[in-house]
Amino acid sequence: MGVPADVTLRKPIPIERDLHIHSRDGANSGVLVKHGDELIAEAAPLSWAVDMPIDQVEFEEASRAAAKSPAFMNHPFPTCFVCGPDRTAGDGLRIFPGPLEKSGRAYYAAHWIPDSSAADGNGRVRDEIVWAALDCPTGFAGGFASAGTLVTGRLGARLIAPVRVGERCVLLSWALGVEGRKHLSEAVLLGEDGTLRAESRATWIKLG
């Protein structure tokens, strides 16, 4: 599954352009992603683990929360690959986090059944798709719906176990706090058996 990593976006990622990965000097010091000479992103190994919530959320419960997702109301990026409501099944992930309160704690929850478009050659969801699935849930928990327009500034992820195509998964996310324009949050991806498959920690930046 690779090592946990932290990716910081320095510029909007150019679409349909060749990007080049450059190794940094020194062992385990990470990589730089560039478009020509322009720095787009940088990544480095990261050792961490989220503070797992004690609350268990069932697939049906996450589905009910998703039906109330702010993604369906004036989404600033309706064609977002992960949470855009204008994406059709197979063209996007259609993960729609909605508010959920349990044991007095505020979460965002979404259900997800990965389809064959996300598969590798062995029926497992490709790593880059799991990374994508872990992104937007942190944004909704961080205030994407209520605090104005937020964009991903930094995303760290740890992939723990494979996710299989057709599996009934749950994504659960929660806020960590706000530091000026930075909105901090975490998320976990749970498999059909309720086990932890991946986790993420993100910093979202408020525009304007």
Give the end-to-end CA distance of the chain in Å, rounded to a whole number.
37
Residue type, 76: P
Whole-number pLDDT of residue 26: 59
For residue range 186-200, list pLDDT tens digits in order: 999 999 999 999 999
Is the pLDDT at 72 greater than 80? The verdict is yes
Q: 3-state class of 173 per DSSP? A: strand
**DSSP structure string for 125-167:** BPHHHHHHHHHHHHHHHHTTTTSS-EEEEEEEEEE-S--BTT-
DSSP strand pairing (169-179 vs 182-190)? antiparallel
- Among the ranges given (77-81, 143-147, 150-154, 158-162), the one the predictor scored with the smallest mean pLDDT: 143-147
Give the mean model confidence (pLDDT) for residues 71-96.
93
Q: Report the 10 Å Cβ neighbour count for 195.
A: 9
- Reported as a pLDDT band with limits 50, 70 and 90, residue 86 is very high
pLDDT > 70 fraction of the chain, expressed in percent and rounded: 96
**Domains of the chain, first to last:** 1-44 (no CATH), 48-206 (3.10.129.10)
Mean of pLDDT over the chain: 89
pLDDT > 90 fraction of the chain, expressed in percent and rounded: 60
pTM for the model: 0.87
- Reported as a pLDDT band with limits 50, 70 and 90, residue 27 is low
Is the pLDDT at 174 greater than 60? The verdict is yes
Whole-number pLDDT of residue 7: 81
Give the mean model confidence (pLDDT) for residues 141-167.
89
Q: How far, in Å, CA of 130 to CA of 143, rounded? A: 22
Report which of 132, 182, 193 is spatially closest to residue 157, judged by C-alpha positions.
132
Whole-number pLDDT of residue 183: 94
Give the mean model confidence (pLDDT) for residues 18-47.
79
Whole-number pLDDT of residue 46: 78
Top pLDDT among 29 and 130 is at 130
Whole-number pLDDT of residue 208: 65
Give the mean model confidence (pLDDT) for residues 45-70.
86
